[in-house]
Amino acid sequence: VKPVRSRINRRAFLRGAGTVAVGLPFLEGVPERSAFAQDDNPVFGLFVVTSCGVVQKPGGGSDPEKFWPTADGPLTTESMNAFAADRCTGILAPHASRLLILRGINYPHRSSGCGHAQGLVQSLTSSQPNGGGNTSTASGISIDTHIAKAVNPQGVEPLALYAGMKGGYINEKVSFSAAGQVRAMEGNPYNVYQRLMGLATPSTGTGGTGGTGGSSGMADQIVLQRKSVNDLVREDMKALLARTDLSSADRMRLDQHLQSIRDMENTIIGMGRGCTLDGLDVQAMEQLKSGNAFRNDSSQEQVSRLQMELAAFAFACNATRVAVLQVGDGTDASRYTLDGQKVERFHYISHRIQGDGTTGAAIPQAVEWHTAIDRIRMEGLKGVLDKWAAYETVGGPLLDRGFLMWTSHVATGPAHSFNNLPIIIAGSAGGYLKQGQFINGGNVTNNRLFNTLATAMGVPTTNFGGSGLTGGELDVIKA
Amino acid sequence: VGGTSAGTSAGGNAGTSGTGAGGTGGTGNPTGYDIPLDGVPINSHYVRLTHQQWENSVRDLLKLTAVPGLASMFASDTSDGMFSNNERRLFVTSTLWADYQRAAEDLAKRVAMDAQARTAIGATGDAATFIRTFGRRAYRRPLEAVEQQRYEALFASAATLYTGGDAFANGVELVIRAMLQSPHFIYRTELGTNEAPLSGYEVASKLSFLLRDTMPDDALFDAAERGDLSTIDGALAQARMMVDSPTAVPVLAKYHNELFGLFRYEGIEKDRTAFPNYQPTMNQAFMDADRMFFDSIFQSGQGLREILLSTKAFVNSAIAPLYDTTANGSGMTEVTLGPERPGFFTRVSFLAYNANLRDPDPIHRGVDMMHRLLCINMVPPPGEIPPLPAAMPGQTNRERVTAHTGSGECAGCHAVSINPLGFSLENFDALGQTRTMDAGKTVNTADSYELASTGIVSFAGAPELMAILAESPDAHACYSRRLGEFVLARDMNETDRQLLNEMLATSTGTAGSIKNMLLAAIRSPRFSTRTGGAQ
């Protein structure tokens, strides 16, 4: 299969160029021709880390089992529908043939402090957390960084997204660009959209693109102007990097900056048919963009859905191969509406008390509410998978060419268990993963899962997470 | 390889001659208590502007009437370190670079295509003059000859890179685009070898970003050009004017906001049945009231003592009743509270934030005071945290917390340190209102606490505790350390001990004002010389 080579759509390009309020399109994020040209079958991966555990029996103390499928083995729409009323994963029944639900996966390192922070830190790094409280940090890079370094063009970071409130106790804590260096995440879907929209072909049916009526010569001009400006800035950067009085930390910092300066190519290759604004809910993004709307206590689920759709859009436009989404933090203060009533903060509910720590009166309905919230989260995931099934990337439908891994930063609510993490993988990653299965991973650490997923993405990996861990792939999930 | 470069350079590196700053042998520690200085600075010579500094600098550089508001769409920084100006947070990722590019293009177009705006930034005569004068302000130092040449070439290239429009305006647009993306605009630099003095221009920028949160104005540039800022006395003379200017007020407001976590108040929530008088709109009033409290302390030349002891408060009609007083309208007015309300930690905002939906939360009141006032970083409890059981009939909140945390493994931190500080505030309910009874019993606010400096102290309640803390080396040293971190825009470690002692001596002295503490820090060679470099 040859990649689709198409000229960038000039109408879209010039629409951006002619609208000062919107700014010029973010074509810098687009990989240069050389980077992806030799790879005809890209694999895309989105890692989603939600908050505060699920209601499950293993490690859940007195909690009932409300999450897992009823039996190991094949999953079909029919078999999942049969338990959908009782177990929330059943809500995903329409996508049964694309699912790999995985139990028996644990964090490598035991909690020695705040379970939330240390769970977040390990969720995508498998590394030993340093520090116990909200300053806890990873001793290694996260899997999205590992993959991006290998498959993204130089300087293109993973798309790092956040959904929910910040300013709480922990904030973003799953994606690490280096040991100890957490990656900031974008919580406003509209900003993500702004950065990516220049890639898209115009949405059908929206009409009137603003009559800039430009020519291809105008696009060429913009490319050349940017090149001239970039060249001058590079001269400044190189002069600084040539100094002999730089510390290694500053050298690293300036080098990262220099690598970020990318020229725009007027010809973009490898954009899938899904690289269109059609699949995006721009209206919702605009409604949420200002003030606290995108990060208030009831916007988390909607923002989460928008961010997962934007990740699909970025994949379809070949802007990055890997993305990561953190939904809520360790002390998630989101308040869900259940049966028309806005209930306590999710973190309180997950602790079963009115408090972020040990103090607070018991919440009698907490298990019931947590169960209902898990179901809302599964409904949201199902909606995203409906969209993902329709996305066309350069290599084919996104659920064939990529995967979405959904997990939570702790396995259970009150006990903060690090074992039997809830893991749902949708999509085959180019046929590398088993599909339509509920599988017991065998009580192994999550680095094995990441070795497998990285390898699926074309980054052969056996020892992610450090040498102290049992390495190798998780053969039981490979097709 | 991580970015830790602990200062191992106390000894004499070959080649670094004496700095000539002199006079570092001065003040010892006046209190006898040495607070740990265990930060991990990377001593970066390239500290990126914060997003707020970028906004303010663009406004001033381009002579805009207001900040452009573009940074709200920039990739956010991580929350590394306590303050938003900490060097560890401030670097350029590929996403942020793209954000800078977009903003630069937007702004350059806006200014260059508007004749009035061009005139305002001096883009009138010939290209070379514009580049020289505008370049000094964008780079915050005179351009070097090679830089001037590069920009003149870029300006001239506009003739071929644009097909229409005014050639001069196009050249101006390209130059602004490039200067806004240059590392010399994006970073505040401290170039040179370890322990060499900063240049006058670097001092101008350091002072201006610290005390005005923006680039230097022309007067400061001129002072640098004259050489006025190359001596500590010269820099201090400028700094004195700057700390007395209204432009310093929002900077210190930001400092106290981040130090005491006022931004967290937006998450306050109360049970509407237990507190029918609570409205979510109060959260903004809480933030405004505390900001005005700290503004008032700073502007009136006061310091930590008054932060802990002042009975002034700011209220509007919504929150005044929480203090059993009244006020008109939504605007804030100053009131004087009774002696039971000394200082920040007895304000309704702090108390309501550190409370549950219905009950006061003495544990988090205590933890917040230890962390933010005494610089004690608590290690979270190990393993799984058993939930606090519901109160038994007749059991007070204090009795319940004590029963749950006051013995066994928990007691090591809770019984000795956390709970006593929190219990001193048990006469304030979950919304910060005064209460005398809990579960049918008189509330008990008496306890004792072991200060690292002087040992165990006993108190009957918050007024006595605050009076003790206001004279304690612990609180003064912590406040000095935090303010020092803010001034230096980095963590502090043992090599900064002398600077800390200078600030501490000021804080504990009779005129212990925040303004004088800032000046004490600026007087230190740690402010005006480079730290770190090639290894």
C-alpha A425: how far from its chain's center?
Answer: 13
Q: Count other C-beta atoms under 10 Å from residue B453's C-beta.
A: 16
Query: Exposure of A440 by Cβ count < 10 A (0-12 exposed, 13-18 middle, 19+ buried)?
Result: middle
Q: How many angstroms separate the CA atoms of A96 and B382, rounded?
A: 40
Nearest by CB to residue B357, choosing from A23, A292, A354, is: A354
At residue B281, what are phi and psi to the nearest 5 degrees? -65, -15
Asked if residues B59 and B117 have their Cβ atoms less than 8 Å apart, the reply is no
For tokens 């979405």, the residue is A404
Query: Exposure of B342 by Cβ count < 10 A (0-12 exposed, 13-18 middle, 19+ buried)?
Result: buried
DSSP A379-433: HHHHHHHHHHHH-EETTEEHHHHEEEEEEESSSBSTT---SS--EEEES-TTTTB
Q: Do B183 and A236 touch (CB under 8 A)?
A: yes
Element (H, E) at B450: strand B447-451
Amino acid at B405: T
Q: Do B46 and A253 touch (CB under 8 A)?
A: yes
- For residue B474, CA distances in Å to B31, B342, B458, B480, B507 come to 9, 18, 16, 10, 12
3-class state of residue A191 by DSSP? helix
pLDDT values of chain B reduced to their tens digit, one per residue, 535 residues:
333 333 333 333 333 333 333 334 456 788 888 999 999 899 999 999 999 999 999 999 999 999 999 998 888 888 778 899 999 999 998 889 988 998 999 999 999 999 999 999 999 989 999 999 999 999 999 999 999 999 999 999 999 999 888 999 999 999 999 999 999 999 999 988 888 999 999 999 999 999 999 999 999 999 999 999 999 999 999 999 999 999 999 999 999 999 999 988 988 888 888 999 999 899 999 999 999 999 999 999 999 999 999 999 999 999 999 999 999 999 999 999 999 999 999 999 999 999 988 899 998 999 999 999 999 987 666 655 666 777 788 999 999 988 888 777 677 778 778 889 999 999 999 999 999 999 999 999 999 999 999 899 999 999 999 999 999 999 999 999 999 999 999 999 999 999 999 999 999 998 789 999 999 999 999 999 998 877 6
Give the contacts of B455 (CB within 8 A, at least 6 positions apart): none
- Which residues of B are less than 8 Å from A177 in CB distance? 93
Q: How many angstroms separate the CA atoms of A212 and A198, rounded?
A: 15
Asked if residues A429 and A403 have their Cβ atoms less than 8 Å apart, the reply is yes
Query: Exposure of B335 by Cβ count < 10 A (0-12 exposed, 13-18 middle, 19+ buried)?
Result: middle
- Which residues of B are less than 8 Å from A111 in CB distance? 382-384
Q: Do B191 and A245 touch (CB under 8 A)?
A: yes
- Which residues of A are less than 8 Å from B181 in CB distance? 229, 233
3-class state of residue A440 by DSSP? strand
Q: Do B534 and A26 touch (CB under 8 A)?
A: no
Q: How many angstroms separate the CA atoms of A143 and A126, rounded?
A: 9
Which tokens hold the place of B4?
């830790």
Which tokens hold the place of A361?
């009166």
- Interface test mutation site (partner A, options B38, B40, B94, B269, max chain A beta carbons within 10 A): B94
Asked if residues B184 and A236 have their Cβ atoms less than 8 Å apart, the reply is yes
Q: How many angstroms separate the CA atoms of B323 and B325, rounded?
A: 5
Nearest by CB to residue B42, choosing from A160, A249, A361, is: A249
Asked if residues B452 and B377 have their Cβ atoms less than 8 Å apart, the reply is no
Asked if residues A93 and A80 have their Cβ atoms less than 8 Å apart, the reply is yes
Q: Count other C-beta atoms under 10 Å from residue A326's C-beta.
A: 30
Give the contacts of B52 (CB within 8 A, at least 6 positions apart): B71, B84, B213, B254
Element (H, E) at B211: helix B200-211
Give the contacts of B166 (CB within 8 A, at least 6 positions apart): none
ipTM: 0.87
Nearest by CB to residue A416, choosing from B191, B379, B384, is: B384
Give the contacts of A121 (CB within 8 A, at least 6 positions apart): A127, A129, A136, A137, A138, A173, A174
DSSP symbol at B355: B
